[in-house]
Structure 1
């Protein structure tokens, strides 16, 4: 039997910590964490698109493919 796997890149991952039925504290709920883009790049290809020097200083990286905007998943959106 052949099954086709499709891998979808997402920088935000989540899990639900184990909560014992005997635990007197309320469950924590879903926990979130981020994985950086460089984890999904086996090697740095030549001629990657670059930010301007000023923009690179503001974003923390020279290469656009390695930029990862941080958004707090616990912050409530209005």
Structure 2
């Protein structure tokens, strides 16, 4: 995606935990939203991957490619310490 577009691929939420719940709190949950949600229509002349690279990445268009990064691997960067 372009730098000027409002695209936030990783979102998070914290499930409600009642003080009467006997189970420990779950903590923060993370999910990803695909890039095509932020495009109204697919524009003409999008930059494309080469055919072999497109097969590896799962899409022909660079703007629709979304790299998966596991947010549960931990660290401050992923909100482990609230």
Q: Please report the TM-score for the alignment, with normalisation by the length of structure 1.
A: 0.86
| Counterpart residue number, 1:76 | 74
CA distance in 1: counterparts of 2:49 and 2:31, whole angstroms: 26
CA RMSD for the aligned pairs?
Answer: 1.4
| Counterpart residue number, 2:37 | 39
Aligned residue-pair number: 71
Structure with bigger RCO (C-alpha 8 Å, 6+ apart):
2
Match status 1:61 vs 2:71: no
Q: Please report the TM-score for the alignment, with normalisation by the length of structure 2.
A: 0.82
| Counterpart residue number, 1:4 | none
Moved over 6 A (4+): none
The structure with the largest alpha-carbon Rg is: 1
- Where structure 1 has 5 or more consecutive residues not aligned to the other structure, the ranges are 1-6
